[in-house]
Amino acid sequence: MLRSSSNCHSRSIKRCRRLISAPGSRIGLRAWVRSSVTSLLSLVMLSSCEIPTKLVVRGGNPPSFQLSGNGLLTSFRVRGPRKQRDAEGEDASMYWMIKRSDGQSGDTVSRIGTIVYGELPRGYRNIYPETGQVPQLEEGERYYVEVITADAEWASAYFTIEGGKAVQEP
């Protein structure tokens, strides 16, 4: 014999009420509510956990940077061994730097997935170079890439170009 789903649902509710209010029952209404609320809060907290940013350098020249994690990409930077501009500190050797476009919230690194050196992801703008194309990466030189994120730990790595391939240092 088939029962309608609403009939089954109402029987389940009646069964729960009997269980909660039964004399001598160890499960009181307060304990049941407290347990349910605690479970719900645990689920919410687990679903909003930070997943650190991971970075894998691959490909040739230009290299590609495979990203994962749940942080919002705020800035992506590639520095090299040669001075690129008259500036103080690390900006002098910045080969490529991008940031979120004004008014854009940005995407999570997992949603972006892969960034290819010199190719601007949608919703981002070039900071360096100020004009023109990104500098060519040279064989045997050591480069440093940083993935700066909000709401999650960011990532960085050193890499070189060897035999036309990008090689990430361990």
CB 98 within 8 A of CB 75: yes
Q: What pLDDT does 148 receive?
A: 95
- Hey, which residues does 97 pair with through a beta bridge? 77, 128
Q: Six-digit token pair at 109?
A: 């690194």
> What is the domain partition of the chain in residue ranges?
5-47, 54-168
From 123, 122, 134, 67, select the one nearest 96 (Cα to Cα).
134
Q: What pLDDT does 1 receive?
A: 44
Q: What pLDDT does 115 receive?
A: 97
Q: Six-digit token pair at 133?
A: 């194309």
Tens of pLDDT along the chain (170 residues) come to 444 444 444 555 555 556 555 555 555 666 656 666 666 555 554 456 889 999 999 999 999 999 999 999 999 999 999 999 999 999 999 999 999 988 777 789 999 999 999 999 999 999 999 998 999 999 999 999 999 999 999 999 999 999 999 999 99
The CATH number of domain 54-168 is 2.60.40:
yes
